[in-house]
Chains A and B, each alone.
Chain A
Amino acid sequence: MEELKELYQQVILDHNKNPRNFGELPTCNRHAEGHNPLCGDQIEVFILVDEDTGKIEDVRFKGAGCAISKASASIMTTLLKGKTIEEAKELFEQFHKVVTSDPSSNADIINLGKLAVFCGVREFPARVKCASLAWHTMLNALDNHTTTKVSTEQV
């Protein structure tokens, strides 16, 4: 069935099987944990921001979850490298729009690039949270400005 094929596109299946940037980032200055208590999905996002340029130098994630949440996290990490914090937040907004927009309106999904892969999620409202977990965790990490070494900056 078409909706299912769109949800589990080859890209999603590939990222699920071979997640990119998977594992801890030993030196990072932004970090957050995300948890979906409804399904038990857990994720940690590690980000290294160059404080001078404000750009994301490196980003990794670890955790356990379904294919959608894992692939979403993996794809997210590939999109974030080299982006400024502002750009990362804009990307989050775009992603959010993609997974929560009305499936019947195709007007706003042109020029999505790699985010287009998430269009299939819209057909399955129960799965939007799976796809969003990594992104919310990333946003939280950027906002919290925490490091793995120093916790004094924690807001």
Chain B
Amino acid sequence: MSELEEKILEIRQDFPVLNRLVYGKPLVYLDNAATTQKPKCVISAISDYYLNYNSNIHRGVHRLSQEATDEYEKSRKIIKEFINANKTNEIIFTRGTTEGINLVAHSYVRPRLKEGNEIVITHMEHHSNIVPWQIVCEETGAKLRVVPINDAGELIFEEFEKMFTDKVKFVSVVYVSNSLGTINPIEEITKKAHSQGIPVLVDAAQSIQHIKTDIRKLGCDFMVFSGHKIYGPTGIGILYGKENYLEKMNPYQGGGDMIKSVSFERTIYNDLPYKFEAGTPNIEGAIGLGKAIEYVSQIGFDFITEHESELLKYAQEKLSEIDGLKIIGNAARKASVVSFVLENVHPHDVGTMLDVDGVAVRTGHHCTEPIMRRFGVPATTRASFAFYNTKQEIDILVQSIQKVIKMFS
């Protein structure tokens, strides 16, 4: 066994669910773009909170409340370091990527938008980076502009540049496409937008777990991601915002914790980041996410990037050899996501048949209906890889697909 194989085997021991059987076969979990599995340390951190110091944060004077507050705030610091933000108060806990985008759409963009203004997104956005903007456009009379993509599934950057007129007030763009795997040139986009004074939000839901994130290098003004895609719990996510933007913004929700003082005549809002964290937050989620990020950092992005690109390369090679299989999304720069269609077999039938072999993949439109239309398919089958996946698992995927083809031929 090679050193790499030994390391992966060791890593797999951190994820208890990877040892289970599905229909009597070992689980081959290739649905990581939907959600990643959780390492033991994350599960323990959550149960430790409930077993030993469950209490509300920021308000009690008792010991347990102090411990919970410390752990909650410690997570914020871990995340700040992880993405290389300037300040801890630029890190806002949300429910996830979707809430982060809605928060910015509602609190930053909407009050500043007038009829005739424009918001720029791309053709490869997830529905969660389309619909919130459609809502603010509808309310304000602004227009949504969509940057087209080429047949490989890459942004047509020249079209992007053409769209940057005085009318554009905001750019919201996905870092890594969840259905195509395409990695977008965020630094270039940000530079171009900033040269015209346009703020940029980056949807990092599918990049945060694959690519080392340096917010200062990327230069974006907002970034959002979900905890569960980076080995953390569901129901927790992060909104990063530059302090000067967050300061100018109105609160998203009113309630406890987001205020300094309340009277019936006047309420004074709390400072950052608490201004955007109304109500008792997802405490165990924040603690679990902090632990997940510590874990990922310990694995290290050198290893993650290398191993995952190896898996991607291997999977694309092996899948391309299958007659009648077409990969959707062939960008030059891709994260470890492979979407494909089979001639004459609908993705749902593929999904069910793979499932019975223990192989978990995602089938459907992946909340990116415009992409499906762009490529003229109703849906795709998507295999997405994490650093705990192996080449042997890809072999099982390939064998299982061959069985599907045989059955439907």
Interface residues of A (CB under 8 A from B): 1, 3-4, 7-8, 13, 16-17, 38-42, 64-68, 70, 124, 126-127, 130
Instruction: With CB as the reference atom, state the residue of chain B lying closest to A129.
Output: B348
Question: What separation, in Å, do the CA atoms of A124 and B355 have in the docked complex?
Answer: 10
Given A8-B407, A65-B346: A40 and B353 interface contact (C-beta under 8 Å): no
Judge whether B356 and A1 touch: CB under 8 Å.
yes
Residues of B within 8 A of A40 (CB): 364-365, 369, 372, 378-379
Interface residues of B (CB under 8 A from A): 23, 345-349, 352-353, 356, 363-365, 369, 372, 378-379, 407-408
Residues of A within 8 A of B364 (CB): 38-40
Given A13-B408, A39-B364, A40-B372: A66 and B23 interface contact (C-beta under 8 Å): no
Residues of A within 8 A of B352 (CB): 4, 7, 124, 126-127
16 contacts between A and B (CB under 8 A): A7-B352, A8-B349, A13-B407, A16-B408, A38-B364, A39-B365, A39-B379, A40-B364, A40-B369, A40-B372, A40-B379, A65-B378, A66-B347, A66-B349, A67-B349, A126-B352
A42 to B: closest C-beta gap in Å:
8
Interchain pairs with CB closer than 8 A, number:
49
Question: What separation, in Å, do the CA atoms of A70 and B348 have in the docked complex?
Answer: 12
Instruction: With CB as the reference atom, state the residue of chain B lying closest to A3.
Output: B356
Question: What separation, in Å, do the CA atoms of A20 and B364 have in the docked complex?
Answer: 26
B300 to A: closest C-beta gap in Å:
37
Instruction: With CB as the reference atom, state the residue of chain B lying closest to A67.
Output: B349
Question: What separation, in Å, do the CA atoms of A8 and B23 have in the docked complex?
Answer: 17
Residues of B within 8 A of A4 (CB): 352-353, 356
Judge whether A67 and B369 touch: CB under 8 Å.
no
Residues of B within 8 A of A8 (CB): 349, 353, 407
- Give 10 nearest A-B pairs by CB, closest first: A66-B346, A66-B348, A40-B378, A67-B349, A4-B356, A66-B349, A40-B379, A39-B364, A1-B356, A40-B365
Question: What separation, in Å, do the CA atoms of A16 and B404 have in the docked complex?
Answer: 14
Question: What separation, in Å, do the CA atoms of A40 and B353 have in the docked complex?
Answer: 19
Instruction: With CB as the reference atom, state the residue of chain B lying closest to A42.
Output: B378
Instruction: With CB as the reference atom, state the residue of chain A lying closest to B353.
Output: A4
Judge whether A68 and B348 touch: CB under 8 Å.
yes
Task: Give 15 A-B pairs besides A8-B349, A68-B348 with Cβ atoms closer than 8 angstroms.
Answer: A4-B352, A4-B353, A13-B407, A39-B348, A39-B363, A39-B365, A40-B364, A40-B379, A42-B378, A65-B348, A66-B347, A66-B349, A124-B352, A127-B348, A127-B352
